[in-house]
Amino acid sequence: MALSESGKLSIGVAEIVAHKFITDVIKDYRQVDPEYRVDFNLKRAVTGKLLDMLQSGELDLAIVTPRPGEKIAGFDLVTMMHRKLELLLPAGHELAKQKSVSLKQIEQYPYLAFGK
Q: Is the pTM of this model over 0.85?
A: no
* pLDDT tens for each residue of 17-71: 766 778 888 888 888 877 778 888 999 998 889 988 998 999 999 988 877 677 7
DSSP secondary structure, 36-101, as one string: -EEEEEEEEE-HHHHHHHHHHTS-SEEE--PPTT---TT----------------TT-GGGGSS--
